[in-house]
A = this chain, B = another copy of it.
Amino acid sequence: MKNKKMAPIGVFDSGVGGLTVAREISRQLPYENIVYFGDTARVPYGSKSQNTIIRFSEQIIRFLRTKQVKAIVIACNTASALALDAVKDEFDLPIIGVVIPGARAAVEATTNGKVGVVGTEATVQSGMYTKVIQGMNPKIEVIEKACPLFVPLVEEGFKEHIVTREIIEYYLESMRNTDIDAMILGCTHYPLLRSKIREYMGDKIQIVNPAYETAMDLKRLLEEEEMANDETTEHHSEYSFYVSDAAEKFRKFANTVMPFDVPTTNVVNIEEY
């Protein structure tokens, strides 16, 4: 079993957003090795169809398997919402997404049974957060809202620009007028706008970032399956980063997110998998 325990965790996302999940895994599971894949040639996923998201996810999982991963974390909300069920049936290794952990955190956070979810168009159209939350507690009311401009605003560095406040108001005004008391940031880019969203929505709402809960779920899974890496002495965990395009741009961004130096990023022709 030693080999399997030392095998890496595969983490993937449509691009850089999932690095926030990888960072959380590195904090909670410091002895685990990680192979990260960002699909930068085909980003974004949030405006694309379920069939396409499933096909992309299958290719990435086939690639990650060549790296002998012991488990896979889908760090992208859109792929978690649209592809998790399909790929879990298809592949014979543990795969977890971010939607179920995020939903559970919101169910625990709400006291009045009213939860808001913000995400990409594809995530919101899937209604997956509502299904999962109401599967846990059918009495909870869920209000979902797609905020498609949040991702380009983050990617183009508009976080501090006045228009970001106006676009937050445009998308979230109707949600602020409800009495939700918990809100899921259902896209890995959105935590990067967290302080602006918090400022607009006020202090009474608990903001849930699924990354933290996802890392907790992964920890539980590895323990249950007896796959956790217990080579804790003199072990430096290894992280490797792969993308489908623009490796240098990714590497620079990764260095602003990860708590250690990311020296290299490799390009993979993901369509061949």
Contact = CB atoms under 8 A, between A and B. Distances in A.
Interface of A: 40-43, 47-49, 51-52, 55, 148-149, 152-153, 155-156, 158, 161-163, 166-167, 170, 244-246, 269, 271
A153 B51 CA distance: 26
- Specify the main secondary structure of chain A where it touches its partner: loop
A168 B43 CA distance: 24
A121 B41 CA distance: 15
Contact of A48 (B41, B55, B152, B167): B41
A156 B149 contact: yes
Contact of A245 (B40, B41, B49, B167): B49
A5 to B, nearest CB: 35
Contacts of A52: 41, 244-246
Contacts of A43: 47
A40 B53 CA distance: 12
A167 B163 CA distance: 8
A155 B43 CA distance: 15
A48 B148 contact: no
Contacts of A47: 43, 155, 246
A161 B166 CA distance: 10
Copies of the protein in its oligomer:
2
Given A41-B42, A271-B271, A49 B152 contact: no
A245 B48 contact: yes
17 contacts: A40-B48, A41-B48, A41-B52, A42-B42, A43-B47, A48-B245, A49-B245, A49-B246, A52-B245, A148-B152, A148-B155, A149-B152, A149-B158, A161-B170, A162-B166, A163-B167, A163-B170
A245 B43 CA distance: 13
A173 to B, nearest CB: 13
Contact of A166 (B40, B155, B163, B170): B163
A63 to B, nearest CB: 14
Nearest to A169: B163
A162 B162 CA distance: 12
A222 to B, nearest CB: 34
A172 to B, nearest CB: 14
A44 to B, nearest CB: 8
A55 B246 CA distance: 14
A40 B49 CA distance: 10
A271 B271 CA distance: 6
